[in-house]
């Protein structure tokens, strides 16, 4: 049945407390339907205000599968489903849908303690149709049988991205090997979420940094024509996975002859795998792939069920390898290199290093309420000083606690810390400053729900020209960009570093006070006050003796306190 579209301005009523405004509301639509099914409202019904039809947002958008949130600090309504986010600010005549700006016929406004705005533009931004059935006075929303888009991002210049099969019950991971890859459609109610990732920069044999130089030497001397086995640890469970490899910083081709994934066996630090779970990784159905300089490639979907906090072994048999290798220098885990093709071998018996090479993401299929917490940080987040594969970095403590509580098991943790990195600096550095990594390491991550900032201490300690204003400006831009992507920001204050120069510590305090004010004003969703929990009460320029490893990095007990503090914040919200 077709209905004539009429020039009627439909609007949504948000069931959130707000400032009252006098208006006379009269009966309007008798019903709202979505694909022929009536929407059941809890409380307010549709009304007619000066010829404009208003309907409650929660009933409509929850029926469309969205979560509805009101952010009082910024007076913004946020609608989310999967990776698709709509943000509507009171008084604005525009709104954003996944960062794209759309016009509203009238600004969003508050009437009788309800937030109102035109419905047609908002619903049509999701890709659905809105009609008006005059005879029956029904607002008709038609989805065409399509679910709300998830719009999950993938790394820039990705060569191949495959869809995902419907998750099905699987045997225990120790009982059965995973099945071959499939390209079935992503099921409704599920999306991709990162279960592991690392922030990439590059190995360089000419670097004065020992770790960066070592990674470059391994690539130059050992990787071509050899098998690399590297160990990663999952944050959340999933029935299917995909893996992404990167030649972002390579200046020549990177050739992967073959690759596989298996469950690690043996003690942490060893190269053993459970050979019954050995599963080839394919790229568009092919065992091999060539990445040109700057390219990423995402594998086909693998029916490879993983558990949370599980060690996986990813084995890659290389052909040609660039001299400048895309890497994460401080893996806090052992990687193994042996000449020839040994991807299916029970162990790789060659040389050992502590770098991750070219592997940048492992994602799982999970329900749409599953989200990741991405931590953008420096060596404190990267885990300076911890024992390899002991998993005692503060993000590991957070991850362990989240998975240990039923209320928070839907939250993944992605560690994007880089040793030596700063908040501000040039984009061409190695590594680039965090301000220039936000897009790749946060906004482009699949299923991200939160970003935590733990960055800036290196600028205070080692960058004399950096000012508080430049750091605040960088943070402001990052917060704004995260908000535009529908990501909740958890600000982190900058820790002490045994600084005896008054003017540098004044800069740190100014930035920290500004961050605390952003939280107090509701600009950011949360705050973890690293400075307050780690500093020495008798000398706030320094870390407390219990937490002081070397004047700048926390001890294991300091890392534990950091992880437990953020866990308490997340648990309080989801309890």
In this prediction, residue 112 carries a pLDDT of 61
> Would you say 199 and 330 are in contact if contact means Cβ atoms under 8 Å apart?
no
Q: In Å, how far are 181, 255, 408, 416 from 299, measured between CA atoms?
A: 9, 14, 29, 21
pLDDT truncated to tens, each residue of the chain (575 aa)? 333 333 333 444 444 433 333 333 344 556 788 888 888 876 667 766 666 677 777 778 888 888 888 776 567 778 888 667 787 877 676 776 654 556 777 777 776 666 666 777 788 777 788 888 888 888 888 887 554 444 433 333 333 333 333 333 333 333 344 544 444 567 889 999 999 999 999 999 999 999 999 999 999 999 999 999 999 999 999 999 999 999 999 999 999 999 999 999 999 999 999 999 999 999 999 999 999 999 999 999 999 999 999 999 999 999 999 999 999 999 999 999 999 999 999 999 999 999 999 999 999 999 999 999 999 999 999 999 999 999 999 999 999 999 999 999 999 999 999 999 999 998 899 999 999 999 999 999 999 999 999 999 999 999 989 999 999 999 999 999 999 999 999 999 999 998 767 889 999 999 999 999 999 999 999 999 999 999 999 999 999 999 999 999 999 999 999 999 999 999 999 98
> Would you say 261 and 281 are in contact if contact means Cβ atoms under 8 Å apart?
yes
In this prediction, residue 27 carries a pLDDT of 42
In this prediction, residue 101 carries a pLDDT of 58
> Would you say 230 and 343 are in contact if contact means Cβ atoms under 8 Å apart?
no
In this prediction, residue 67 carries a pLDDT of 86
| DSSP-assigned letters across all residues of 434-477 | GGGTHIIIIITSTTEEEEEEE--HHHHHH-TT--HHHHHHHHHH
For residue 548, what is the DSSP state?
Answer: B
Q: Which two tokens stand for residue 302?
A: 């693998």
Burial 49-80, CB ≥16 within 10 A → b, else e: beebbbbbbbbbbbbbbbebebbeebbbbbbb
| DSSP-assigned letters across all residues of 221-284 | IIITTEEEEEEEE-SS-BS-EEEEEE-TT-SS-EEEEEEEEEEB-SSTT---B-GGG-EE--BT
> Would you say 472 and 516 are in contact if contact means Cβ atoms under 8 Å apart?
no
Round to whole Å and give the CA distance between 94 and 108.
8
Determine how many CB atoms are found less than 10 A away from the CB of residue 36. 9
In this prediction, residue 74 carries a pLDDT of 60
Question: Which stretches of 329-438 are assigned E, i.e. beta strand?
Answer: 335-339, 351-353, 356-357, 359-367, 371-377, 411-417
Query: Per the confidence metrics, is the pTM higher than 0.85?
Result: no
In this prediction, residue 88 carries a pLDDT of 80
3-state secondary structure of 141: strand
In this prediction, residue 44 carries a pLDDT of 66
């Amino acid at each position: 049945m077709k209905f004539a579209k009429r020039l009627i301005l439909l609007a949504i009523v948000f069931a959130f407390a707000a400032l009252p405004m006098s208006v006379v509301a009269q009966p309007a639509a008798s019903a709202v339907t979505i694909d022929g099914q009536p929407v059941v409202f809890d409380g307010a019904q549709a009304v007619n205000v000066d010829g404009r039809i208003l309907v409650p947002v929660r009933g409509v958008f929850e029926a469309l599968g969205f979560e509805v949130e009101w952010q009082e600090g910024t007076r913004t309504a946020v609608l989310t489903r999967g990776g698709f986010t709509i943000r509507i600010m009171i008084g604005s005549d525009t709104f954003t849908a996944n960062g794209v700006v759309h016009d509203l016929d009238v600004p969003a406004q508050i009437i009788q303690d309800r937030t109102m705005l035109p419905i047609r533009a908002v619903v049509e931004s999701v890709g659905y149709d809105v009609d008006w059935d005059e005879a029956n006075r029904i607002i008709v929303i038609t989805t065409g049988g399509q679910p709300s888009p998830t719009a999950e991002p993938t790394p820039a210049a990705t060569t191949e991205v495959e869809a995902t099969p419907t998750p099905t019950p699987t045997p225990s991971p120790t009982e059965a090997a995973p099945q071959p890859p499939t390209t079935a459609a992503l099921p409704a109610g599920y999306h991709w979420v990162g279960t592991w990732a690392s922030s990439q920069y590059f190995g360089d044999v000419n670097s004065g940094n020992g770790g960066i130089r070592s990674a470059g030497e391994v690539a130059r001397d050992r990787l071509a024509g050899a098998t690399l086995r590297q160990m990663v640890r999952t944050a959340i469970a999933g029935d299917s996975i995909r893996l992404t490899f990167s030649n972002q910083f390579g200046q020549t081709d990177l050739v992967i002859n073959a690759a596989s994934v298996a469950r690690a066996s043996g003690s942490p630090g060893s190269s053993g795998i459970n050979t019954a779970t050995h599963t080839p990784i394919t790229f568009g159905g092919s065992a091999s792939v060539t990445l040109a300089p700057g390219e990423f490639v995402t594998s086909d979907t693998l029916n490879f069920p993983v558990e949370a906090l599980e060690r996986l072994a990813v084995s890659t048999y290389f052909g040609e390898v660039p001299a400048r290798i895309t890497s994460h220098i401080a893996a806090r885990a052992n990687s193994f290199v042996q000449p020839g093709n040994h991807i299916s071998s029970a162990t790789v018996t060659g040389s050992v290093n502590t770098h991750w090479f070219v592997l940048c993401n492992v994602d799982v299929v999970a329900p749409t309420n599953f989200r990741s917490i991405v931590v953008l940080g420096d060596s404190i987040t990267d885990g300076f000083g911890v024992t390899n594969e002991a998993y005692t970095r503060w993000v590991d403590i957070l991850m362990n606690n989240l998975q240990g509580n039923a209320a928070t098991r839907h939250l993944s943790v992605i560690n994007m810390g880089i040793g030596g990195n700063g908040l501000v600096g040039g984009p061409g550095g190695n590594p680039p400053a965090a301000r220039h990594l936000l897009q790749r390491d946060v906004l482009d991550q699949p299923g991200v729900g939160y970003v935590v900032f733990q960055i800036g201490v290196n600028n205070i300690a080692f960058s004399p020209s950096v000012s508080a204003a430049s750091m605040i400006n960088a943070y402001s831009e990052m917060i704004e960009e995260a908000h535009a992507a529908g990501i909740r920001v958890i600000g982190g204050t900058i820790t002490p570093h045994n600084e005896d120069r008054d003017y540098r510590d004044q800069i740190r305090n100014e930035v920290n006070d500004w961050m605390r004010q952003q939280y107090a004003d509701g600009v950011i969703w949360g705050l973890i006050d690293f400075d307050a929990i780690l500093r020495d009460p008798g000398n706030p320029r320094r870390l407390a003796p219990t937490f002081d490893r070397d004047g700048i990095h926390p001890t294991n007990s300091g890392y534990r306190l950091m992880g437990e503090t953020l866990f308490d914040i997340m648990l309080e919200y989801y309890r």
